Structure formats: structure tokens, C-alpha cells
Chain A
Amino acid sequence: DTAVSQTPKYLVTQMGNDKSIKCEQNLGHDTMYWYKQDSKKFLKIMFSYNNKELIINETVPNRFSPKSPDKAHLNLHINSLELGDSAVYFCASSQENYGYTFGSGTRLTVV
């Protein structure tokens, strides 16, 4: 039983395309997140949702749009992909101060 699952695991696409990454958690957590990990392994928060409500929206291009249809799902849609969007995107969930549970990541490569 995977606690936080992301799909797809790998995504290769051309510049200018639109793509989505899906995330689902079965832990009953209230809060979900999207993080971007760059080539130097630096982790940067992008968005956070609590019970379907956006609570953290860092300085991210508005080509990135999160959507949370319910508290178990947080999807990330990216419009007009650019080379600099290439990274590993991690979904995570948490409940209060118990720490994050991470998904296994989506490696996005824009060519």
C-alpha cells in the first residue's frame, strides 16, 4: 500500500507543451505539498494545500497551477513548459507536526 503515490514517475516532453502530474495520499493527512528538487538537490516548496484550501503559494511562475479536488489529491498542471522546468517534483503530505511523507518523485525532462 503506497502512502503517497505520484504519477507518472518519468515525464519527457518538448518545450511549450502542457503536462500534469498527479498525487494521491491514503494516509488521511490534511495537508499536501508540491516541492521542486533541482539538479543540485535543493528542495524548494511550491505549494501547500490544507483540506483543499491553498495555504502556501511561493514565488512560482503562474504557468504552474495546483488543483486539489479533495484532501487526498493534489495535482500539478504546468503550461508552456520551459527547459528550466526540468527537475524532480515531489508530492508530500503531513498531519500537524508529524513530518512529511514524500512520494517517490516525478522526474520531468523538458527537451
Chain B
Amino acid sequence: AQSVTQLDSQVPVFEEAPVELRCNYSSSVSVYLFWYVQYPNQGLQLLLKYLSGSTLVKGINGFEAEFNKSQTSFHLRKPSVHISDTAEYFCAVRPSNFNKFYFGSGTKLNVKP
């Protein structure tokens, strides 16, 4: 069975500060990993994904994430956030042997001026 845990339900941060949104997962098989962003009243948009290869993945809008297999983590980072990054962020995993995505409960990033 798979599960995804996003440890922080809300993360307040000031503009231009760095941010890390945490994601841990559990799975009995190898997984593919994803981060999605949801702006208010919109659908989810893919930020980045890890399928294989380099464990550091770069995505859109200056975000990056690092896959750590030993810690079963896939934390999302941005060195300097903008007001426009205020949104809900979802971590998701997909087992390598089945096309079904499991989502975390989301982290609300609130960027303050």
C-alpha cells in the first residue's frame, strides 16, 4: 500500500525568503514522485516530477525537489518566494507498477509582503 504525508498543513513565509515544503511517502514498490500546485479556484498544475536519474529535479517557477530514497522523502524547495507563489501544494506518488496517483493532504503556502 502507498501513502503520502505532507507534514505541514500551512507554511507562512515572507516574500524573498527561502521555503521548504516537506513530503514523505511509504510504498512497497518503487515509485514516481510529483509536486502539483493549486492556485485559488483553479485546477492542479504539475510543478515537477521525479521518474529516475538525478535525484535533484528542477521544475517551473524556480521550484526544485530532491528525492531521498533512504528517507523516503521528496521535499520541495524554492530559494526566494514571491507573493504569487501563494497557493496549495500537493505531493503525489505513483507506484511504478500501476497507474494510480496518491496525493498528500496538501500544504498551504502563504507568502506575506
Show the binding face of A for B, using Cβ within 8 Å.
4, 31, 40-43, 45, 48, 50, 55-56, 90, 92, 94, 96-105
Whether, in the assembled complex, B64 has its beta carbon less than 8 Å from a beta carbon of chain A, the answer is: no
Whether, in the assembled complex, B99 has its beta carbon less than 8 Å from a beta carbon of chain A, the answer is: yes
Q: Is the CB of A100 within 8 A of B101?
A: yes
Docked Cα-Cα span, A50 to B98, in Å, equals 12
Docked Cα-Cα span, A43 to B44, in Å, equals 11
Q: How far is the CB of A70 from chain B (nearest CB, A)?
A: 19
Q: Is the CB of B105 within 8 A of A42?
A: yes
Docked Cα-Cα span, A102 to B103, in Å, equals 13
Whether, in the assembled complex, B71 has its beta carbon less than 8 Å from a beta carbon of chain A, the answer is: no
Contacting residues, chain A, for B96 (C-beta < 8 A): 97
The total of chain B residues at the interface (CB under 8 A) is 23
Q: Is the CB of B106 within 8 A of A99?
A: no
Contacting residues, chain A, for B41 (C-beta < 8 A): 105
Q: Nearest A residue to B46 by beta-carbon distance?
A: A99
CB-defined A-B contacts under 8 Å, sample of 10 = A31-B99, A41-B108, A43-B44, A43-B103, A50-B99, A92-B44, A94-B99, A100-B36, A100-B46, A105-B43
Docked Cα-Cα span, A90 to B38, in Å, equals 12
Interface residues of B: mostly helix, strand, loop or mixed?
strand
Q: Is the CB of B43 within 8 A of A102?
A: yes
Q: Is the CB of B45 within 8 A of A42?
A: no
* Contact A45-B32, Cβ < 8 Å, known A97-B51, A100-B44: no
Q: How far is the CB of A30 from chain B (nearest CB, A)?
A: 9
Q: Nearest B residue to A100 by beta-carbon distance?
A: B101
Q: Which of A31, A43, A94, A105 has the most CB of B within 10 A?
A: A43
Contacting residues, chain B, for A96 (C-beta < 8 A): 99
Q: Is the CB of A104 within 8 A of B103?
A: no
* Contact A90-B43, Cβ < 8 Å, known A41-B88, A42-B105, A99-B49: yes
Query: Chain B 42-72 against A: per-residue CB contact (8 Å), 1 yes, 0 no?
Result: 1111100101000000000000000000000
Docked Cα-Cα span, A100 to B51, in Å, equals 14
Q: Is the CB of A102 within 8 A of B45?
A: yes
